[in-house]
Structure 1
């Protein structure tokens, strides 16, 4: 899709935004005050993504700034993919505004280009959304083709025109090559995709690992990855927030961690998953970023355990006098809730023993399964000096039931209808609960929910 966020607003309010220079951006008072995307009318006037709002307005004084509306983007994204699926069931969602579709076996009277043009016209006619389409024998070339001509482009790349179309392009424009890899390739004398195609695979494997050989294959137009219409199983779910002001007091960081843990837990439970590893991400004012993680004795999706674990990691790894610019929590090693299994060494032969965890067990599940009180799992004292009940003392069954009730209430009446005490503190991280204005283009889990399964409330008022 072309300038997707801006195009969504133009489709929703054409009299206000269609054909005008627009940009979706955050608040100019915070570090979030940057341009996320700009319409093509704004781009022709010099506005670019990642510009600060101040820079963008200086470049284009007539620029119309629009607050993000991720519910609008998700709704139209689903509508786009629904139209594509009317032609083929073999659709792989890549991001909120991109997908691959295998049309090899589509019964259509005309060429592949005719079919692509029909889909393009339908999207514009029915949704008022422009798109560019790439036609190719594989996913890599189709992605490269779709990026060549925007907006409303239709480009075909085949193994016959690969040399003329693809090889002259800078290696940094190749799908799958990030800025750092591009810099390394240029330092190696590989500045174009054609030069990469001619490179020695063994040499690149030595320098870049197995990815080196893969890049040579792609540059030669060889990509054997198949379309996967089934969503990939989620391996992790996380949230991060870049703060408007650097934080130096652990008490303030704890409030941010609570809001992060709350939303991570919400998303994990929404998918009926549990996770085994909690990861804390810290970025300091020096822009140095560290990640630290803790493996849990049993999988969980409980916000309380995510928060306690992240707080413990913060306590153990926060340097003295550090100023924190970004905080993040990720729950990894996800697995279905109903099949969560803990491997325990048998006392008789030392072989792993599979234990099925009851979702409604009572008492101390940690102690019952691990055979220890888990005193070392999470300290009973938080980094802030406030006594926190350790997990073995919690009634996990009560917490699970409480989560089910509060999740249902928040689904129906809004994220702020029920809050934990620390979440009542006025803090910018409370905006994590505003699903209409927060999100990312790669947050695909919400797009994979079944029809009617999207229960996040709009503005906390309606489902």
Structure 2
């Protein structure tokens, strides 16, 4: 057995389980937590085991889920409760190790290497104690993977659900892991699965046996990482709970309440979204040297475009303008637009020196930043709706509760 011991704990059917725990009358029903149909988020966000057995999947449209499971009960999400219980469960993990790394709201890695708890007990015994403690104190169940690295610990927690512990060790992983579909491996998404399938790579074992140079040619740097993971060579550490990784990009996106049919409507939404991006850039003391927009049309097809900024900026006005120009230049208007995301990318420290040139009005750039800081200060003191652009009035096709959404923009980390 390897000297390293890592747990990965996954709250089973997190959203649905919390809803059943808070509302006992929902127990024993076929349950799905779904977004708002009125605001065009009418998809399944989570489901319980009964609904899963009927074929209901995360991402199903509500009407599609009810076709699969006519007796399905749907409830809206209550994110404040999910975050609350996530913190409670993570506090339980911290009793066993100071190194607990969150992986989303419902999953965590726990570093157990060298723990005094393992001096007279097996890792499985300790994992089962954690599992029983979570159940006793919260009413929720977890599945725990026990392994010698993070990747296989995560895979183990997925292998038996719900309420189970699975071991994967260095002397057994080839028999346990290699026959599994390559899509079961962490960070192998649909596009990567399809690309690997074109070369006859369908299992984790086939990925492990492929030439790393070939995978690097096909998948770039990610190909080499996946080869390392498949061969059990991952050595990444479990980060302490207070660790904050470097910010890689900052974005904000939304599904519109009605399809956008003109570039003016697109510019309105990009301007609205960019304001939170600029705010987060200032909070993290970063500036963007690039902008990226993600566009999903009414047929649910999506496109992604990006461009360089002329100089590093924190200005949401400049980001919105760059995003609008990028949209105008690249989007062909085959279909109306359903949702938009704008992101600040290629981030650098905000105090990075700017090379002046003869054509850019840097005085105007500074006035924009001063204006935006003043707007933010007014909103902080008097509320988010205290001041806004006249063009962003009632005709804006985004949910009326968007000020709540502003609290949770997408921040991507290294």
TM tier, smaller: 0.7 to 0.9
Which residue matches 1:313?
326
CA contact (8 A) 1:113 1:135 kept: yes
CA contact (8 A) 1:25 1:35 kept: yes
Work out the number of aligned pairs and report it: 398
Q: Measured at CA, do residues 405 and 273 of structure 1 come closer, stay the same or move farther in structure 2, by a change above 3 Å?
A: farther
Give the Cα separation in 1 of the matches to 2:387 and 2:194. Answer: 49
Deviations 1:7-66 (A, max 9, x none): 22223x232434432211123356421111111122123322222111222332332212
1:133 pairs with 121, 141, 144, which one? 144
Moved more, 219-228 or 280-289: 280-289
Which residue matches 1:70?
79
5 Å matches for 1:275-290? 275-285=288-298, 287=301, 289-290=303-304
Q: Measured at CA, do residues 281 and 175 of structure 1 come closer, stay the same or move farther in structure 2, by a change above 3 Å?
A: closer
Give the Cα separation in 2 of the matches to 1:196 and 1:320. Answer: 39
Q: Does 1:236 align with 2:249?
A: yes
Q: Does 1:39 align with 2:48?
A: yes
Moved more, 90-99 or 196-205: 196-205
SS of aligned partner of 1:281: strand
1:145 pairs with 156, 160, 164, which one? 156
Q: Does 1:207 align with 2:218?
A: yes
Moved more, 427-436 or 135-144: 427-436
When normalised by structure 1's length, the TM-score is: 0.76
- Higher RCO (C-alpha under 8 Å, 6+ residues apart): 2
Give the Cα separation in 1 of the matches to 2:257 and 2:166. Answer: 42
SS of aligned partner of 1:10: helix
Q: Measured at CA, do residues 118 and 437 of structure 1 come closer, stay the same or move farther in structure 2, by a change above 3 Å?
A: farther
> Where does structure 1 lack aligned partners over 5 or more consecutive residues?
345-369, 378-389, 446-463
CA contact (8 A) 2:15 2:46 kept: yes
Give the Cα separation in 2 of the matches to 1:292 and 1:217. Answer: 30
1:425 pairs with 379, 394, 404, which one? 394
Q: Measured at CA, do residues 202 and 333 of structure 1 come closer, stay the same or move farther in structure 2, by a change above 3 Å?
A: closer
Give the Cα separation in 2 of the matches to 1:251 and 1:402. Answer: 23
Q: Measured at CA, do residues 227 and 5 of structure 1 come closer, stay the same or move farther in structure 2, by a change above 3 Å?
A: same
Q: Measured at CA, do residues 74 and 335 of structure 1 come closer, stay the same or move farther in structure 2, by a change above 3 Å?
A: farther
Q: Does 1:85 align with 2:54?
A: no
Give the Cα separation in 2 of the matches to 1:437 and 1:62. Answer: 35
**Alignment root-mean-square deviation, CA:** 3.0
Q: Does 1:5 align with 2:19?
A: no
CA contact (8 A) 1:92 1:227 kept: yes
